[in-house]
Chain A
């Protein structure tokens, strides 16, 4: 990554023309909020909003990593299983350290470090197989998805790994407490989102991702180290999965083979709803944040009403997702 950023004329003309592609996700979000308000008076309550945002934060943080991977023309299907195995190993490490370190923040911090490290290692593995092994990202991450899922089932002996009760009490505030009434998961999600937006828009790395995703050959001729940039997106993805798990473990203090099932699809859906193109070349972090919040709100609204039969929840979800993307593509006729 020693190559400096090519000078791209960043200033493009900005009019006040309402661009659906830009406001599409926001419009969908606004409509969903209006629907929520009309269905239940508690929808806008502080408790409900913090509940939904805190719940969405795991997928959100993972989806920000996925935005980079997808923008650079890649795909990572392993994130859900990776989250499960990281959660499992973190819990085992913390339980194992209790006799030597005692109950306290020391154990929790060691557990957190393990989580981030494991995420990074898993990312290095995925990225290396894809860039150095020259295997399709879909195949590599489909493979690791199965490997990680089996590993957590094996580690848990088919059951559930539970964190020691006293350590869980120490760790609990990381999900449930916060600063000035804003729970930690929301704060971390916001910080990761702001960081991601800055990296995507204002750094060479972000521009390289877009360049590789839109045309790999041209990017290579422009002396971008395509393999290294790609590898970095997978490592970033792994680390962010680790961060998400740090916030997930204190919620229930347990991990099992059902942890993180289908998170990869939710993350990818959030990314695409937000306006990033699935085939790569264009990524938008704030859009991903909006996309993930939309997904979170759909689940929330379904639980706050009894008009729609629970058998049709999936259909409602599907309609909203398609509508949200349709709103952005409306102009292209």
Chain B
């Protein structure tokens, strides 16, 4: 018994010693994200900085370099600077425009750095060591499941889309495939640019055009908030429900309160950047194997589980 104990103790000491040896190497991790030009990217910036602050305190030997860029050329310049002047060992990047940035990111990889790509797929495979993203087809499919369940008899719905980029198409295609075979009729779909003002305008016109709407799929909470104002203005909040996406606090609160207008939401959290930074850091601090693909579920958030997702500190 005594022997076992001392063996365990020495194992612990040895463990902490090797840990300390690893920890003494100075590691620099670059984090590059797009500027906060809408609510979701605002959340990305917030969660990135929060993770950096937390991990910087936990691991004093890890240094972070953070940059936020309004467009692709600036973001490319940022990562070039990180490699040449800051000597980063790893790069965590949420590319604003993945197609434009693929070759720049490949250069970082070719220079022997550990590369983590977040949310948006690069145009060639195999560049990144680690890929962390939300599940866009899942967001569409889970929303479609809810619509089928909420409208068992079928009914008319309208769709407010984001911007014409691949993420939007993945969500939309999965949703349309999901409701196939049901009696749900999509009256029309229009782009609302992931923007409240456009959500308001497009919804106003849909309400003018269609006297019978049972459901609205906005696939984004900013769009949903604009659309809700239009529905209230028309006094038709008891005729329909609206499903957004991303998990904005304001919508989550309504879901938790059991709102009939916003009964559910689907998660697509900007906090995925924190997941990516955390995993990348643990690759260096703990020597943990993290390479691969890490897809966060787009979970259906209902009245029952909304509390898990509420975070009073989140700006998003």
- Residues of chain A having any CB pair with chain B under 8 Å: 40, 42, 45, 47-48, 51, 55, 153, 156-160, 162, 176, 251-252, 254, 256-259, 261, 299-300, 302-304, 306, 310-311, 313
Contact = CB atoms under 8 A, between A and B. Distances in A.
19 contacts: A40-B208, A47-B208, A55-B204, A153-B37, A158-B43, A159-B39, A159-B42, A160-B42, A252-B200, A254-B225, A256-B196, A257-B38, A257-B42, A299-B201, A303-B202, A303-B206, A304-B205, A306-B188, A310-B190
Contact of B229 (A252, A258, A302): A252
A258 B37 contact: yes
Given A157-B315, A160-B39, A254-B196, A51 B188 contact: no
Nearest to A260: B197
B229 A304 contact: no
Contacts of A51: 204-205, 208
B202 A158 contact: no
A310 B201 contact: no
A29 B158 CA distance: 29
Interface string B196-218: 11001110111011000000000
B209 A157 contact: no
B43 A257 contact: no
B189 interface: yes
Given A251-B229, A310-B189, A304 B46 contact: no
B46 A157 contact: yes
Interface in B180-196: 188-191, 195-196
A157 B191 CA distance: 26
Interface string B217-229: 0000010011001
Contacts of B196: 252, 254, 256, 258
Contact of B46 (A47, A158, A251): A158
B42 A42 contact: no
Contacts of B202: 303
B315 A158 contact: yes
B230 to A, nearest CB: 9
Residue of B35, B190, B200, B208 contacting most chain A CB atoms (<10 Å): B208
A257 to B, nearest CB: 6
B36 interface: yes
Given A51-B205, A251-B229, 6 more contacts: A158-B41, A159-B316, A252-B196, A252-B197, A256-B39, A258-B196
